[in-house]
Every structure is written in C-alpha cells, then in structure tokens.
C-alpha cells in the first residue's frame, strides 16, 4: 500500500557543508525520521508564498498531512504587536506557512504543529503570543542556553487528544523564548508547571494538534503516529 505523503515546512538559512557556504533549504533530520517511523513519506516544503490560496490548495491536494516545524519567531505584525528587541523573524516562512496552513485547514487535512508550529496555529486562529518569556517569568528555563533544551513537567486536560497521547502528565523538552498568550479559536489542553501553554488542539477538526516542546528530538513518535493515523 502506498504510504501517505506528509509535508514538513522547512527553513531557509545560511549553511555550510563540505566546500560550500551558501543559503540552503533545510530541516532537522529528526522530523523526517519521525514521519518515516510513523509510516508516512516525508516531503520537505521550502518557504514559498505559493502564489496565493489557489496554488496552496493545489499543493495541499497532493498531501495527506502537514507538520509545521519549529524555528524562528513569527512576525508580531501578524498578531497586531510591535516587535520585542529579542524577536527574530523569518517573513518568508510566515507568508508561506500561513498560506499553506489556511489551505490545509480548509481541506480538513491533519496538522501537527511543533514549537513555532504550535504558535503559528494560534496566530492563524486569531490568537496572540508572549514575545519574550523571561519578561513574564523572570527566568530562562524554557530556553536555558544556546542549543540546550529545558526539561520540565507538563500536565494535560482530561479527555483531550494531548492527554490520550501523553498521559495526564509528562516530562517534556523545550527550546523557546516565546509562547502562546491567547489561543484564538483553538483550545488549550496542556500547560507547563509554570502555566506556560504546552499544547493546543481543535476538537472540531479531524486532527489539529500543537505542542510547544520538541518530541522529534526526544525520539517520541506518538504525535507523528497520531497524525498519520488520522489520515
């Protein structure tokens, strides 16, 4: 049987390998590995405005699921805010990912958002973000040092998809300095032990789940398998 196709949104960043030093479209291999282990075929989606909604709908028509990967901050103009000094934006990703996400939601395609991807789900649903958590919390526990994941407990709402996947509580690995403030049309179903939002979902859709941590880096295939199971 043909494996389902799952698109993974990608970065466009300066990169070096071998003799080359150039911009590259790339994605951490862990996302690809998790999608494969979940039983699907990964398709990398570079930042692209897709020429508008019609092209996005055509792309989504060829996919069976969508993973919104982590990465840089979402432009605060997207949710009516002024940029914080620490906010680092990638307008090309915002434009492309919001366009393809809108088409995916219109088609009721299963969607999993990871870290930035969860925040993108909130913004697409009319929500807002906290731009710099240390201003709110007084510490950097969710992003303790460059390239170092914070580890903490999270709790999940009884009866939610998140609780069905991860149990009532779980230890999670975080690397983010922004967080969901208002979830818009989505439902908050997970919280860190300091009440930072850790999971969002849309119970009215086939599968729309966002997680603020990085299950792919922990080798946790469960959210990716749930995405594929919903196809």
Q: C-alpha dihedral over 95, 84, 197, 126, to 10 degrees?
A: -40
CB atoms within 10 A of CB 145: 9
CB 210 within 8 A of CB 199: yes
- Provide CB contacts within 8 A for 42, sequence distance 6+: 6, 7, 8, 31, 32, 35, 36
- Provide CB contacts within 8 A for 192, sequence distance 6+: 142, 152, 153, 154, 172, 174, 198, 212
Nearest Cα neighbor of 100 from 87, 88, 113 is: 113
**Rounded Cα gap, residues 10 and 97, in angstroms:** 9
Report, as residue numbers or ranges, the catalytic residues.
Answer: 115, 214, 216
Place of tokens 């040092």: 145
Nearest Cα neighbor of 37 from 190, 196, 228 is: 228
Task: Give how far Cα 55 sits from Cα of 60, 107, 125, 168, 191, Å.
Answer: 9, 13, 21, 40, 36
């Amino acid at each position: 049987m043909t494996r389902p196709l799952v698109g993974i949104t990608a970065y466009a960043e300066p990169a070096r390998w071998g003799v080359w030093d150039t911009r590259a479209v790339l994605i951490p291999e862990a996302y690809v590995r998790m999608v494969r282990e979940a039983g699907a075929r990964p398709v990398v989606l570079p930042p692209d405005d897709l020429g508008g909604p019609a092209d996005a709908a055509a792309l989504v028509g060829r996919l069976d699921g969508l993973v919104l990967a982590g990465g840089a901050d979402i432009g605060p103009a997207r949710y009516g805010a002024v940029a914080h000094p620490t906010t680092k934006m990638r307008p090309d990703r915002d434009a492309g990912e919001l366009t393809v996400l809108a088409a995916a939601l219109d088609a009721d395609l299963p969607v999993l958002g990871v870290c930035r991807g969860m925040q993108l789900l909130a913004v697409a649903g009319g929500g807002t973000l906290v731009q710099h958590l240390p201003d709110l919390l007084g510490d950097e526990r969710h992003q303790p040092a460059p390239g170092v994941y914070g580890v903490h407990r999270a709790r999940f709402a009884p009866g939610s998809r998140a609780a069905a996947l991860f149990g009532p509580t779980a230890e999670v690995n975080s690397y983010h300095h922004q967080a969901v403030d208002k979830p818009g049309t989505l439902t908050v179903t997970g919280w860190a032990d300091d009440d930072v939002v850790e999971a969002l979902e849309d119970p009215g859709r086939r599968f729309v789940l966002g997680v603020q941590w990085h299950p792919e880096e922990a080798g946790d295939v469960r959210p990716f398998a749930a995405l594929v199971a919903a196809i």
